[in-house]
């Protein structure tokens, strides 16, 4: 019923799809009609992953998606259901430990997210209800509520600005938490609501907002507000991004604003940008999964071999059923196929520890604890904001060492984004510095033929354009009135370029004094105040690359002023005007300055009526508004007259050149993305050493492909030519390629936006459908790319652990007899070997920080996941196989002596297995100690402590008769084993033999390093620390 009434108020409008209607203050438009409240989501923010009710099932589901966890679950179930040689505890307890520790870690991280959500959701806000300020929690905001926000507060939801404490209804906002931009942005209220600056007046507003449904684009918003008076006659005003205040943004330089909530909670743009993200998996985890599949194949092979050999062994009658181990009737009647299958499963259970269940928890804990190291790093602490590095997720910590490509913007990243006006050109005449006389501004430009200054009227027209064609606002401390305050003006804008241009005009005698009552006020060179009515602003966008304003003078003339990139302005002005300015623009671009061209035109009253009508229609559209406005803008900004151009400097950031050079030396490829003119961007890239003087540049730009009538054919020729050159120069291997960068010719690629679009959108009939693949090959082999004009150690511990168990089957008739006691199987990955590898992964520093920073080339040794490639994997696997054979056959050789004790008592199989296990634990732990170069008390504690704990546990486990055990097979075994001198000597000898290849390798590396060291050579250092003149400042 209410919707029908509202449709009557908006007669003539078609039914909109994908829009929502919001009633300001949740007030009905007509008091005579029933009001049905609409249902929208509440304002709660939920960034957490779990709840109290779904944590257990959801976390278990996610954990058992991992190969190792799922595998051990299957093994545990097999042990429970099938008669296997080992107890279910041997796999069930480690699995329970891993699952529990991982769940605690993930639960803790999610608790932190819950706590952060509660801080936001429970924060205090003020809502206007019944003409009063009502204090509420943020989560209780509803769509339609009118919210009051004070200075320096963040917006609790997405709001449409209704009014502010300023008379013109503007406010200033920073969006650093959303897009990283620290500049103040100006937002506006529609003129019909700017006077509603109190709770009482804002409560009288009866209005409805039609807008698009929530979508994540921070810079797009389409809507309109229908304001109703007592006569219920609607006044419609368009709403755009300049009217929308985003959740997470902060109110600055404005005491107070009122806004109506249009998107709340998980439908705000900030929340939508964080939703639906797939779980990221690091390259390390992917490699671990791949290697686990290899070990799973080895496990299946071992089980199959042992099963086959068991039945070969049992093919002899006295081996199948010896006198001391007669089969039961049930065993004789069991199908042979079923028996073979159960035997296969039993061997899998026996060898299952080849896959280390604790490896995932070790990796998880290393990531989790490593994130604290990043947060504690003093080098990451910013003294200005008093904050250190913040780790939002620990899942990808190790990826910091695997970066291959760095994509960077130019403005604000390589440069400071603090613009300074350098010079300008008016009708081809250069104006560079201010002299004592205001009129003495002109200076001739070398290549130009005009030696006198521009006409006085043209000078003033140009300076007026700089004062009017912008979105700059004035920070209002006190009312600015008259000339006396003009020297202390503070300009605010989202674009530093605009502030620089306004300040440049002020340097030449034209001062922008701000807006008052819809009038832009300018003080001219004669100290006179000029006022211009701002009729329309045609905002800048990355496609048009220009902006315009339409103003009305005091005499009633209507003028359009336009500024933008030369590529956007030159096609829209008279051809004979271009040459006078083009030389100036190109020279400034070569000097690294940012250039803009300025144009204007007069608009006849009749034409303005048509333009005004078209603009209003386009602005009011809810569907395809951007396309309609772009078409209108395109029609308006034609047949203009070029006045001149400006040059603004954006200085490089401190240490920008040294940083880029270090990234190159480390083998990283740097891509610079910028909207600047190609010459400007190229000059900046030389200055920041993205390109060296020796770098050969490959250009794919509009200029290079315009030589041919058919652009796509010419583009294809260039792509083929560049690919042949690069393939001939560099080898195919990626790692060899990185090494080649320091030994061969370096290449850099320059491409502009239009050419990139041509590559990505090539026509099907061009015969060049492989543009993308060729372009990708070229990019991968270039050390730098300028886009301008754009819009296993632990796994080998476990192989040597289970190999003796496999070998033992050859000496026990493949009877599935365990070599190790169940307690050792259970404790090996949990207690005996887990802490040393965790401490090593957190604390080890093979190379000290000073060496790393002085020689970035060392980074190339670990990129491309180099430590988890096939080569290192095979090395550790074969080394583990060697050690496993030493453990087993060394102990087997020791047992060839009939008696190892003075009393003639013979050791049994559990003593044999305990000796093997003791050598194993000491070898893998000491191997880690050999590889440790950065010793701390923590390393000493966990390494020697783990060995001491093993000895203590073995004495304790074998020194007590445990009532819950059926067999006391380990009773006094360890103590009696160590009573033999032969056993002591054997253990020490086997540990040394196992570690000998590692010790020999370390010795050979040290000898090689000392031999290669030349004391007369300088240590490797960055070029930036050497006094080499590159020719660019």
How far apart CA 468 and CA 502 sit, in angstroms, is: 9
How far apart CA 879 and CA 881 sit, in angstroms, is: 5
Burial 218-251 (b: 16+ CB within 10 A, else e): beebbbbbbbbeeeeebebbbbbebbbbbbbbbb
> For residues 927 and 837, is the Cβ–Cβ distance under 8 A?
no
How far apart CA 851 and CA 854 sit, in angstroms, is: 5
> For residues 175 and 278, is the Cβ–Cβ distance under 8 A?
no
Q: How many residues does the chain have?
A: 1033
DSSP tag of 274:
T
Phi then psi dihedrals of residue 897, to 5 deg: -75, 130
What is the C-alpha R_g of the chain?
A: 38
How far apart CA 268 and CA 261 sit, in angstroms, is: 10
Q: What angle do CA 111, 112, 118 make, to 5 degrees?
A: 90
Strand order in the sheet with 181-188: 181-188, 170-175, 250-252
Give 159's contacts (C-beta < 8 A, 6+ positions apart): 147, 149, 244, 245, 259, 260, 261, 262
606 is catalytic: no
> For residues 157 and 267, is the Cβ–Cβ distance under 8 A?
no
How far apart CA 156 and CA 144 sit, in angstroms, is: 13
* β-strands 784-788, 747-752 pairing: parallel
For residue 517, give Cα distances in angstroms to 168, 196, 575, 859.
7, 16, 39, 60
Instruction: Provide the β-strand partners of residue 512.
Output: 522
Q: What angle do CA 69, 72, 74 make, to 5 degrees?
A: 110
How far apart CA 1021 and CA 743 sit, in angstroms, is: 16
Three-state SS string across 828-840, please? Answer: HHHHHCHHHHHHH
How far apart CA 239 and CA 260 sit, in angstroms, is: 13
> Pick from 682, 662, 664: which is nearest to 672 by CA?
682
Single out the catalytic residue among 409, 591, 713, 855.
Answer: 409
How far apart CA 806 and CA 798 sit, in angstroms, is: 13
> Pick from 239, 93, 255: which is nearest to 172 by CA?
255
Give 27's contacts (C-beta < 8 A, 6+ positions apart): 205, 206
* β-strands 473-474, 491-492 pairing: antiparallel
How far apart CA 489 and CA 533 sit, in angstroms, is: 21
Element (H, E) at 550: strand 546-552
Q: What angle do CA 72, 91, 298 make, to 5 degrees?
A: 55
Element (H, E) at 630: helix 625-636
Directed axis angle between helix 870-894 and helix 981-1012, to 10°? 150
Burial 152-181 (b: 16+ CB within 10 A, else e): ebbbbbbbbbbbbbbebbbbbbbbeebeee
Catalytic residues: 409
């Amino acid at each position: 019923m209410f919707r029908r009434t509202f449709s009557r108020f908006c007669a003539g409008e078609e039914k909109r799809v994908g829009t929502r209607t919001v009633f300001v203050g949740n007030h009905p438009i007509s008091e005579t009609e029933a009001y049905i409240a609409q249902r929208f989501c509440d304002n709660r923010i939920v960034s957490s992953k779990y709840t109290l009710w779904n944590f257990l099932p959801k976390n278990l589901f996610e954990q058992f998606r991992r190969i190792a966890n799922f595998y051990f679950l299957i093994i545990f179930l097999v042990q429970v259901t099938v008669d296997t040689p080992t107890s279910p505890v041997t796999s069930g307890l480690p699995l329970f430990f891993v699952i529990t520790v991982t769940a605690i870690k993930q639960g803790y991280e999610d608790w932190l997210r819950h706590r952060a959500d509660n801080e936001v959701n429970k924060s205090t806000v003020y809502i206007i209800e019944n003409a009063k300020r009502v204090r509420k929690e943020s989560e209780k905001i509803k769509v339609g509520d009118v919210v009051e926000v004070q200075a320096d507060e963040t917006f609790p939801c997405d709001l449409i600005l209704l009014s502010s404490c300023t008379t013109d209804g503007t406010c200033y906002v920073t969006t650093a938490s959303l897009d990283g931009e620290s500049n103040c942005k100006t937002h506006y209220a529609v003129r019909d609501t700017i006077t509603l600056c109190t709770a009482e007046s804002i409560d009288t507003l009866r209005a409805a907002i039609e807008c698009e449904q929530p979508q994540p684009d921070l810079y797009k918003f389409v809507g309109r507000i229908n304001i109703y008076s007592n006569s219920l006659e609607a006044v419609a005003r368009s709403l755009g991004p300049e009217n929308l205040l985003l959740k997470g943004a902060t109110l600055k330089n404005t005491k107070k604003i009122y806004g109506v909530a249009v998107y709340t909670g998980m439908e705000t743009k900030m929340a939508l940008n964080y939703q639906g993200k797939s779980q990221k998996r690091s390259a390390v985890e992917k490699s671990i999964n791949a290697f686990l599949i290899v070990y799973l194949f080895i496990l299946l092979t071992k089980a199959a071999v042992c099963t086959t050999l068991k039945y070969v062994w049992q093919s002899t009658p006295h081996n199948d059923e010896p006198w001391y181990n007669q089969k039961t009737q049930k065993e004789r009647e069991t199908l042979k196929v079923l028996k073979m299958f159960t035997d296969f499963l039993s061997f899998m259970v026996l060898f299952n520890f080849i896959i280390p269940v604790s490896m995932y928890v070790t990796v998880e804990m290393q990531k989790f604890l490593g994130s604290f190291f990043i947060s504690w790093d003093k080098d990451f602490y910013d003294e200005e904001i008093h904050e250190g590095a913040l780790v939002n997720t620990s899942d990808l910590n190790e990826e910091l060492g695997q970066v291959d490509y760095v994509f960077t913007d130019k403005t604000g990243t390589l440069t400071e984004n603090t613009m300074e006006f350098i010079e300008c050109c008016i009708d081809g005449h250069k104006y560079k510095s201010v002299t004592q006389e205001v009129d003495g501004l002109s200076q001739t430009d070398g290549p130009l033929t005009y030696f006198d200054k521009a006409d006085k009227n043209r000078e003033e027209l140009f300076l007026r354009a700089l004062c009017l064609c912008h979105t700059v606002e004035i920070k209002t401390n006190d009312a600015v009135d008259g000339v006396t305050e003009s020297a202390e003006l503070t300009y605010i804008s989202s674009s530093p370029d605009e502030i620089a241009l306004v300040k440049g005009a002020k340097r030449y005698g034209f001062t922008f004094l701000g807006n008052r009552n819809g009038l832009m006020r300018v003080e001219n060179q004669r100290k006179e105040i000029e006022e211009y009515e701002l009729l329309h602003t045609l905002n800048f966008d990355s496609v048009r690359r220009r902006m315009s304003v339409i103003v009305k003078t005091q005499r009633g003339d209507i003028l359009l002023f336009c500024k933008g990139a030369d590529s956007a302005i030159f096609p829209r002005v008279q051809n004979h005007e271009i040459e006078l300015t083009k030389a100036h623009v190109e020279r400034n671009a070569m000097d690294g300055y940012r250039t803009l061209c300025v144009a204007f035109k007069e608009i006849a009253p009749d034409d303005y009526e048509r333009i005004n009508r078209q603009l209003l229609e386009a602005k009011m559209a809810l569907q395809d508004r951007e396309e309609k406005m772009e078409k209108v803008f395109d029609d308006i900004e034609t047949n203009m007259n070029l006045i001149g151009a400006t040059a603004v400097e954006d200085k490089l950031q401190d240490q920008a050149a040294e940083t880029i050079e270090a990234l190159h030396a480390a083998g990283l490829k740097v891509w610079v993305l910028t909207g600047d003119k190609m010459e400007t961007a190229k000059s900046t890239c030389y200055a920041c050493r993205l390109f060296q003087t020796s770098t050969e540049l490959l250009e794919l730009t509009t200029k290079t492909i315009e030589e041919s009538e058919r652009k796509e054919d010419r583009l294809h020729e260039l792509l083929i030519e560049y690919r042949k050159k690069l393939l001939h120069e560099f080898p195919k291997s990626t790692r060899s390629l990185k090494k080649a960068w320091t030994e061969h010719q370096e290449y850099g690629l320059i491409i502009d936006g239009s050419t990139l679009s041509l590559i990505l959108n090539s026509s099907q009939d061009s015969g060049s459908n492989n543009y993308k693949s060729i372009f990708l090959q070229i990019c991968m082999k270039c050390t730098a790319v300028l886009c301008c004009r754009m819009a296993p150690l632990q796994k080998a511990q476990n192989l040597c652990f289970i190999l003796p168990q496999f070998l033992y089957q050859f000496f026990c008739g493949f009877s599935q007899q365990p070599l190790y006691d169940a307690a050792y199987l259970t404790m090996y990955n949990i207690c005996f070997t887990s802490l040393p590898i965790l401490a090593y992964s957190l604390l080890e520093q093979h190379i000290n920080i000073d060496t790393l920073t002085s020689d970035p080339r060392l980074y190339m040794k670990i990129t491309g996941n180099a430590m988890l490639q096939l080569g290192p994997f095979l090395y550790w696997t074969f080394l583990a196989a060697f050690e496993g054979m030493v453990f087993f056959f060394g102990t087997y050789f020791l047992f060839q002596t009939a008696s190892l004790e003075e009393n003639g008592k013979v050791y049994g199989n559990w003593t044999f297995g305990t000796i093997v296990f003791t050598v194993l634990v000491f070898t893998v732990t000491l191997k880690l100690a050999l590889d440790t170069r950065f010793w701390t008390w923590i390393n000493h504690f966990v390494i020697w402590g783990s060995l001491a704990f093993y000895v203590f546990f073995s004495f304790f486990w074998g020194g007590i008769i445990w009532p819950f055990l059926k067999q006391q097979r380990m009773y006094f075994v360890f103590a009696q084993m160590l009573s033999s001198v032969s056993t002591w000597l054997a253990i020490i000898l086997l540990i040394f033999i196992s570690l000998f290849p590692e010790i020999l390798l370390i010795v050979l590396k040290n000898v090689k390093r000392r031999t290669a060291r030349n004391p007369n050579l300088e240590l490797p250092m960055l070029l930036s620390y050497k006094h080499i003149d590159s020719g660019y400042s």
